[in-house]
Structure 1
């Protein structure tokens, strides 16, 4: 009767069920501890219809000896053909055909023995005689067999004893002798299988010759797989074969990881390991019940790793070739890109010595490419010629006070640098320097300040107290972005994005020359004053060491940073150099390097991960430095003095903060760290938990956005910010002890309308969108600024429209509001809020001595400055409660033209026949359903801009349609009356329209992406137009030719107005510019 294990093996070998069912049966067998019977397993298969009852009975009735493995199948229990009673010697005769009863080949395998056929001439006598003879022979043979069995058993016991003691060589010798000399022994099959086992054990355990062991297994297993004793030794093969596979896989792994990598050798080992696994997975040799699947998985994982490494090493070879080729051709950027791309793909080979060798060659080639070229140029000590005769900034002291601080504090905002006195916040000077996405800060040089003028591409030195020019020198023109000046002893260094580091004499301003790099630069250099070394980070990959005197490159360190990821200058502190690389949208990395005795950057000492990207320079104080990220994380580090151990100590930090990411500035004051971003924060380092703990700050400026660096000066912390909801810049000083604001000064509030000259006040009137109105007379001209407004609102407000009445009176309004601010600046200055009959639907405009005020409720009023009616309001016929979206009226004398924002245009006039009233002179339907915009009156014609890129013209006062003129694009400015034409602008062109009975384009002028601002000024036979980029252009009214172009050098915020022989115009920061024109 078959055992449960034999039953399962028979099922597996005959493949009677699926592998899943077989796994389930084996699991049940193991779970029972071998106690389950073959009958129980057979019943399970029968109940599921997986084997027939007959097949189950056949398998169960087989004796354990009858299960003989043959190829991939199993012989059913042997059923020898019965011997007939009259053939008693047949079995003996058959036995005598081979020695020991079984015929075998040279390798010890069974040979098929064909039965002899009966001879037709045999007689009974011959058979009887032969039988007697056979009996005698058998007796002799039996005697020999008994003797052989006794000596063979002794030899086999000796072999087994040697095998058990691990003497595989001795065991092998004895087994080989037995197999050769005792082929007929009943235990010959056992010895033959054991011989194969011993040969494999000797090669795996004694010699660890894995390729030889595989060859032996591949030779031996087919020869013994049909032996009766094979099944009894499956446990041996289940142990040996995985070991061979693992040994070959380990050899492949070691060979693929060595410096002397031989791909052919590795490939051979991998193939052999795969072949060994094939033997392991062959159920004839290792049944599933004996196979260690975890070991098989581990071997496959190892081979997968080898495959990945081979692929990586092949990639490495191609990369090394590419780096070498790029280096030879001088394309260092390509060499670095090849290396960076490879490390991104294969980070495990980042430190491969072959890669380092090729990289070192590229670095040395790059160092040889960095050359200093003398390009001398003398400095100029006079200002450049400008049509701006005078610039008068408008200042609004928000809070008066005094701080214990000296000198000036500078802040750059929207292309203008402001210097305020640190003690009281008064404005010292204002200087336009050109707009840049990232403002460059002024740098202190003795009692002066160094600035970069991005308009002309010049390095400028000014007196810090007065702003007067000391010298200015061209760097390399206005096109290349320049980075903050850096002082290096008697030199000033300026880095350019073009890849040059310029050197200037600090005293005279004379330009010496430039060191040119093989790649662009993205930040200023760092200076080590003790060693006289400058450290420059390239746009990617490289950190250069230069001599500050000669600007000779004396070393290049490959850092591997990606293009454009280092946005701030390196740090040079205590013999260490650090760079901060932005490694993603949310993280950055601080890397620290050692320097040798000559100050050249050497090996990397460590790196620190930071939360958020870094876009503002670190703040250095002795051996400490502060780093702030845009995510609000702040780190206070100290450079260690010891040469061994960690190069930095993290003293304290603040984690990333919730909210929008933005640039942040930090400063250390009185042992505390001040942090400026969205609001102001004061913290103190807690040494117990290395945390920057918040401290009370009474004036935290919550919600305000800080710009530029914050500075410690005396007992004050100076800063600049944009107050929440208030355009412009507020410069202030906070007491470093109490945290309270000491003084505040508002600057750079945008203008509200154009400045105008008042004949009655003999002064210029200018207003800002924050509601301050200034009267600028001789004292302000002498002071070159208006130090405080003459009138302002009682509460903070932002206005978007102004209507000038008398030359000193104005109504400041906000669209949608129900009031305006009535302002008078002379003879007695003052302002007050005036309530209106309803909410404003559009901008109010001056009409005669009053303000034409269209309201959302549908009425159009004519009011005086105090809000009192000057005429009965006009009320069109509309459904009750239906609002009207009036458009800005155009006024010419007593006539006004405006639309209802939908389909009708109205002509209104003041009827003074009885009591004054606003009356409708005419109305007309607009020619299209496109939404109307502003209107303009030119002579006896009115034009209305339509949203379908057309202009509708009407005759006055009847509003008879004159025609519709298609335009070359959407109207972005205008229309305005300009002499005999209506002037408007599309995105690409300035267009003059002749609004005659048939409107036509009079002329067109290209704008080149310039944007007109404010209203044009009719000037004789021309018209002057202001542009936001800082130009004033006079166009001939008849032809559109640009007869004069004035470059004012600063952004503009209003159109021009007449000021005697000069023009007045407001800069974008509200400063009043007096302009000399041809």
Structure 2
């Protein structure tokens, strides 16, 4: 029996009716059992535990028994032969019903009512004993109903079920439907009933046996299909799966077979066909048919791998395809495949998550391919449009089309079709270079002279520089060009060229007394000045804005903004040749000493190679630069052409081009060198090295090795950027030493062996350099503005240490001109230097200099005290003031006790003292003799860290009171005794702007409102509001008191107001702001503006009696003299201006009062 139990378990395993772990447990129990186990016992155990149904258990046990019976029959060969020959069995042979009876004995239907039959009531029949039952005719035979199961009772004391069956006869319960009583019938015998029951059980067993063999055949077929699938024989596997699905229609694996058949078909074409469209077509045909199959969910992982692989194949084929239309069709078909991958019927969320990295790469590749398709389509369209532009010789339009295309698709920069058209465009550009009709007008005037006379003020200090003996040094300071004696630093001559003059002077030769060239780029004016005298030798007026000319021997090359290039004779100014390019020019040409060509960049993408001899165009090379990207000339060095191209506000690149022996460009020879910041100053050559400086402070040294076969240019050393914002900077280099001037002056030493730039020293940190340094032997001359100062200091320093030899402060604004006596004038500048004018036109040093040339000196806003002394405030150092005295010590500096505050209003004289409002909320009166408070201050209530902005107050001498106002919205009247006490206080509806002004017994000020500014009057005692006047504009300056009224400057006019608040007249005046309060001279109002305009106005009608323009900024109030006016200039000079006799062109018009 143990063998049949093993067979029973194997049958369970083959049909996968139980989980593997249960099968394993059954095997273990059979192996370890000491008693024999029968299939019936195992089946009952599984039924009781719910693992099998009664039907399944009966079928399995019957199958085991039938197999055993077949094995017994095969051993009786002769009987089998007889049976095959048709002989009947012997009478004593009975059908074996043991199998069926044993099965029935195991499973009992508990719902039936059994009839107990005791073991003793059953007649025992011995083997071999024949029992004869009488046979008779019966009228009817009722079939006995055989129940499904007979329950076998088990004795209480037994070790196993098997042992019980051997030792104790079974006590069975049989449920029998009793037949009706009848006459004796041969068919009612027990033998006949047993034979019938046996035949029925044999039929049932045969059914299950056939079904078993049939099932075994299905599993084998399915396994063979799986094997073919795993071996990638997809065509064979698809057919076998389909045959299985067609034949075994009721098999539980039929859904699996259908799905696998479809999947095999997809894999066959997806993996086998070179064209992915074939795989897609197959997938579209077969997958929808099995989308709703139950087995599809289990096969989604396999299907996902196949579809994703097919998507990869689409991308790979598109990459190998050249034709744009074919690639586009592939991407369209791929889109359909991706829709299938996104369909949850085919690929579930779990599978998509598992394939996410691959899908991401597929989508990225597809986007790239689509971009390439768009690129190729746009390229074809652009090439056609470019051809049309070139046919019309619209080269700039063709360049623009190319730029737009390559800006979107940078890889097209090297496209053969575009390069071919670029070459054609360059040839057209070369043919469009023509002779220019520009003919400069030569004269000996040129630079407009200053009006009237001038007194030039300088402040030279230090010792001599012997190395510069006999040499003239040219520097530009603000709007003036100075010629300085190189040895002493004294001013030889000064030429005012204008504040719009943006270029620096250029020496025409290396000689010590070389003449100098000046250029006014905006006016298109080029002039040669004699070095010794500053007299104009010649001036050429081109009539177009120009770039700073390039000097080479006796040639002067001038490029105009609109694309003309001229060669002028530097001696006489005559034109040698002139050409016109078909586009604008962003910079001067690059010139190499002794070379035959000029290299001129153009605004739109081209570089022109021009012959120095006759101006003929030798070559046009396409640079593909953006407009405005090039602002400095190219540089030629050792057969290499360097072009400096800015790529934005914070980047640039140095491009390197190889030149042939004729100086023509062969190619761009190597990768550009990247630079942080823009290149806005010309790089410098030092032997075989080129030094480049950016406006962010990065400095790189490029080394040229002419003998190298490739990469002739290399980066030797560099200093990283030191600025976060662009700033003006200049560069100087000589013999492996580099000097950089920006917000400090720094000396570097180049160490080629270490490939390092070593910072040697730093000087003048915090100052602002204003021009390029110049080196003469071992002396460097540079210009800078000291921090907190408005003048410019010219210094000659030692090249090795940066220490000064001599210095000269030039261009220091004049802020005060006083007349202590008839014919005498005292001058004070913003740096606290005092000059006594005694008729000389050039003063190289002040009479006294309490400022001592230190930083943070900016004295201005003079206030005249009652005793004739004048107070000036230092805007760079709020606690420091200057006191000018007409007699005695002319100028001294002192500190005022402002505590933690700083002046936030103009000051007003209070007798010999002055009063001012501070930003800490105090209003103070200061004694200038000591700097201490002359009265206890007035304090407004403030929040912590709050600052106060005061209006310039007024002092009423008759009542000894102040009227003050601030941005706190209060108008206050204070007593002017030992303590400043409030007498009257009112709250303002709107804040006041500008100074307060006294007119009789009233105080007026400008009140800002949404509708426009008003001139509001207040009673000086009660502070009650009085009359008001709409100004019809916004206040710019004032109000300023004049006789019987006041003046207010708005953004469009000057308004004269009477004491009663009515308008006297209004003068159209859109000029710059008044530099000082107007004053009356010879019955006329004198107005001076910050921009340098001087006006004479009739005070009663507002008519303009005369005006002039000095073309330079005024920085002081004018002072009248017999022949005109003296006024201080921002250029560090005192201008002697004649009395204006007629209105200037475009003079203002006035209208009378209402």
Counterpart pick for 2:400 among 337, 358, 362? 337
Distance in structure 2 (CA, Å) of the matches to 1:1027 and 1:200 = 90
Partner of 2:474: 410
CA contact (8 A) 1:814 1:820 kept: yes
1:552-701 correspondence to structure 2 within 5 Å: 552-605=616-669, 606-642=671-707, 644-657=709-722, 660-697=725-762, 700-701=763-764
* 1:1071 pairs with 2:1129: no
Partner of 1:802: 862
Distance in structure 2 (CA, Å) of the matches to 1:220 and 1:363 = 60
Cα drift, residue 1072 of structure 1: 0.7
Cα drift, residue 312 of structure 1: 1.6
Partner of 2:424: 361
Partner of 2:541: 474
Counterpart secondary structure, 1:441: coil
Distance in structure 2 (CA, Å) of the matches to 1:758 and 1:845 = 21
Distance in structure 2 (CA, Å) of the matches to 1:379 and 1:463 = 16
Instruction: Label 1:821 to 1:196 Cα distance change in 2 as closer, same or farther (>3 A).
Output: closer
* 1:716 pairs with 2:783: no
Instruction: Label 1:878 to 1:702 Cα distance change in 2 as closer, same or farther (>3 A).
Output: closer
Bigger-Rg structure (1/2): 2
Partner of 1:853: 914
Distance in structure 1 (CA, Å) of the matches to 2:1101 and 2:341 = 95
Instruction: Label 1:195 to 1:952 Cα distance change in 2 as closer, same or farther (>3 A).
Output: closer
Counterpart secondary structure, 2:503: coil
Counterpart pick for 1:530 among 582, 585, 594? 594
Partner of 2:317: 251
Distance in structure 2 (CA, Å) of the matches to 1:282 and 1:456 = 73
- Show CA shifts across 1:130-166 (max 9, x none): xxxxxxxxxxxxxxxxxxxxxxx9xx9xxx99x99x9
1:1048-1063 correspondence to structure 2 within 5 Å: 1048-1063=1110-1125
Distance in structure 2 (CA, Å) of the matches to 1:550 and 1:1055 = 56
Counterpart secondary structure, 2:316: helix
1:298-447 correspondence to structure 2 within 5 Å: 301-329=364-392, 331-382=394-445, 386=449, 388-402=451-465, 404-405=467-468, 407-436=471-500, 439-446=502-509, 447=514
CA contact (8 A) 1:663 1:677 kept: yes
- Show CA shifts across 1:675-718 (max 9, x none): 22221222222335522122245xx1121122221222210122
What is the TM-score when the length of structure 2 is the normalising length?
A: 0.66
- Show CA shifts across 1:818-867 (max 9, x none): 664334587x76543456687878555678xx644125565657x7x756
Counterpart pick for 2:1039 among 975, 981, 985? 975
Counterpart pick for 2:1094 among 1000, 1012, 1032? 1032
Counterpart secondary structure, 2:439: strand
* 1:822 pairs with 2:880: no
Partner of 2:603: 539
Cα drift, residue 301 of structure 1: 4.5
CA contact (8 A) 1:245 1:274 kept: no
Counterpart pick for 1:725 among 785, 788, 791? 788
Cα drift, residue 785 of structure 1: 3.6
Equivalenced residue count is 903
Partner of 1:126: none
Distance in structure 1 (CA, Å) of the matches to 2:524 and 2:759 = 43
Cα drift, residue 749 of structure 1: 1.8
CA contact (8 A) 1:933 1:944 kept: no
Partner of 2:1073: 1011
What is the TM-score when the length of structure 1 is the normalising length?
A: 0.70
CA contact (8 A) 1:492 1:506 kept: yes
Partner of 2:1055: 991
Counterpart secondary structure, 2:858: coil
Tell me which moved more, 542-551 or 714-723.
542-551
Cα drift, residue 570 of structure 1: 2.1
CA contact (8 A) 1:614 1:628 kept: yes
Cα drift, residue 618 of structure 1: 1.3
Partner of 2:815: 752
1:193-342 correspondence to structure 2 within 5 Å: 208=274, 246=312, 248-255=314-321, 258=322, 261-263=323-325, 265-271=326-332, 301-329=364-392, 331-342=394-405
Distance in structure 2 (CA, Å) of the matches to 1:456 and 1:970 = 34
Instruction: Label 1:707 to 1:596 Cα distance change in 2 as closer, same or farther (>3 A).
Output: same
- Show CA shifts across 1:169-188 (max 9, x none): xx999x99xx99xx99xxxx
Instruction: Label 1:716 to 1:934 Cα distance change in 2 as closer, same or farther (>3 A).
Output: same
Distance in structure 1 (CA, Å) of the matches to 2:316 and 2:1023 = 97
Counterpart secondary structure, 1:404: helix
Cα drift, residue 595 of structure 1: 3.0
CA contact (8 A) 2:783 2:795 kept: yes
Distance in structure 2 (CA, Å) of the matches to 1:202 and 1:919 = 105
Instruction: Label 1:284 to 1:836 Cα distance change in 2 as closer, same or farther (>3 A).
Output: closer
Counterpart pick for 1:775 among 836, 844, 857? 836
Partner of 1:51: none
1:70-85 correspondence to structure 2 within 5 Å: none
- Show CA shifts across 1:412-438 (max 9, x none): 3433333433333222333333334x9
Instruction: Label 1:204 to 1:651 Cα distance change in 2 as closer, same or farther (>3 A).
Output: same
Distance in structure 1 (CA, Å) of the matches to 2:439 and 2:801 = 51
Instruction: Label 1:592 to 1:1073 Cα distance change in 2 as closer, same or farther (>3 A).
Output: same
* 1:950 pairs with 2:1011: no
CA contact (8 A) 1:838 1:855 kept: no
Instruction: Label 1:999 to 1:788 Cα distance change in 2 as closer, same or farther (>3 A).
Output: same
Instruction: Label 1:663 to 1:2 Cα distance change in 2 as closer, same or farther (>3 A).
Output: farther
Counterpart secondary structure, 2:320: helix
Partner of 1:94: none
Flag structure 1 segments of 5+ consecutive residues without an equivalent. Answer: 8-33, 41-55, 63-152, 910-915
* 1:743 pairs with 2:801: no
Q: What RMSD over aligned residues (CA atoms) do the two structures have, in Å?
A: 5.7
Instruction: Label 1:309 to 1:660 Cα distance change in 2 as closer, same or farther (>3 A).
Output: closer
Partner of 2:995: 934
Higher relative contact order (CA 8 A, sep 6+): 1
CA contact (8 A) 2:560 2:585 kept: yes
- Show CA shifts across 1:939-994 (max 9, x none): x576633242333458999999873322123322233345665333112222233x
Distance in structure 1 (CA, Å) of the matches to 2:395 and 2:1001 = 68
Instruction: Label 1:381 to 1:897 Cα distance change in 2 as closer, same or farther (>3 A).
Output: farther
- Show CA shifts across 1:184-216 (max 9, x none): 9xxxx9xx9999999999999999566678778
Counterpart secondary structure, 2:372: helix
Partner of 1:453: 520
- Show CA shifts across 1:588-613 (max 9, x none): 11111223444344422230111222
Distance in structure 1 (CA, Å) of the matches to 2:979 and 2:726 = 54
Counterpart pick for 2:850 among 792, 797, 807? 792
Counterpart secondary structure, 2:773: strand
Distance in structure 1 (CA, Å) of the matches to 2:14 and 2:796 = 91
CA contact (8 A) 2:866 2:912 kept: no
